[in-house]
């Protein structure tokens, strides 16, 4: 991602806005802020007491036919839940690998494919941000740099993450609010991952 380090102040400002939000505003079923305690502590940000909320299992992920074509929000949620509790990791790994490869191979046409799958640009953006979160979380688990590189490419694509509107979207808390929370998560965790890599430290 271009000039990631200069976003640190923006991330601090975003977190200040998030801390002022009512708990109910952040209680989205897609759980954009769960499992971030270590990252928040790493950047010495004020802890948020509700980050430990659990994603409720919404479906059982079947290992057959993993891939973008069959991807749904329910599957993304179930994959993340299993990843956080390290359950059924063979299935999680199979899906993560397939999705990462699809994003890499289809990268030039990925936006169009996402819009075709989910019906409109806003829905496509939100689902792809959720997908990027899964890949980034899988990187934290696996330490496989291919997943981090894919997320960096997605974040730098120009249509998923907007540093210019992120803070405004968080403040307004309207239709793009969950999208903004996912963008914040991706920016914060990629900075965390890159900082560790630069220092030669392990996650």
Q: Which two tokens stand for residue 181?
A: 């929370």
Please report, for residues 25, 67, 131, 180, the alpha-carbon distance to residue 76 in angstroms, rounded to integers and kept in the order given.
Answer: 21, 11, 7, 18
Tens-digit pLDDT profile for residues 149-185:
999 999 999 999 988 899 999 998 777 899 999 999 9
Domain boundaries, the chain: 4-199
- Looking at residue 1, its pLDDT comes to 45
| Whether 172 contacts 180, CB under 8 Å | no
Secondary structure of the chain: what % helix, strand, coil (to 5)? Answer: 65, 0, 35
Output the DSSP codes for 110-123: HHHHHHHHHSSHHH
Q: What is the pTM of this model?
A: 0.91
- Written as tens digits, the pLDDT of the chain (203 aa) is 445 455 788 899 999 999 998 888 888 888 899 989 899 999 999 987 665 555 555 456 766 789 999 999 999 999 999 999 888 899 999 999 999 999 999 999 999 999 999 999 999 999 999 999 999 999 999 999 999 999 999 999 999 998 889 999 999 877 789 999 999 999 999 999 999 898 886 65
């Amino acid at each position: 991602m271009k000039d990631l380090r200069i976003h640190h102040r923006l991330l601090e400002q975003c977190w200040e806005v998030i801390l002022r939000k009512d708990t109910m505003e952040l209680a989205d079923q897609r759980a954009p802020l769960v499992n971030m305690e270590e990252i928040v502590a790493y950047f010495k940000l004020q802890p948020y007491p509700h980050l430990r909320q659990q994603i409720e299992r919404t479906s059982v992920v079947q290992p057959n036919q993993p891939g973008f074509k069959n991807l749904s929000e329910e599957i993304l949620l179930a994959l993340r839940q299993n990843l956080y509790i390290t359950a059924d990791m063979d299935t999680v790994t199979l899906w993560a690998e397939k999705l990462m490869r699809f994003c890499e191979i289809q990268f030039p046409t990925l936006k169009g494919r996402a819009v075709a799958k989910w019906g409109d640009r806003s829905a496509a953006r939100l689902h792809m941000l959720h997908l990027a979160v899964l890949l980034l979380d899988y990187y934290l688990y696996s330490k496989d740099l291919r997943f981090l590189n894919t997320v960096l490419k997605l974040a730098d694509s120009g249509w998923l993450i907007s540093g210019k509107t992120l803070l405004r979207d968080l403040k307004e808390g309207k239709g793009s609010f969950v999208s903004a929370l996912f963008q914040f998560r991706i920016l914060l965790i990629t900075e965390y991952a890159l900082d560790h890599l630069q220092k030669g430290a392990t996650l």
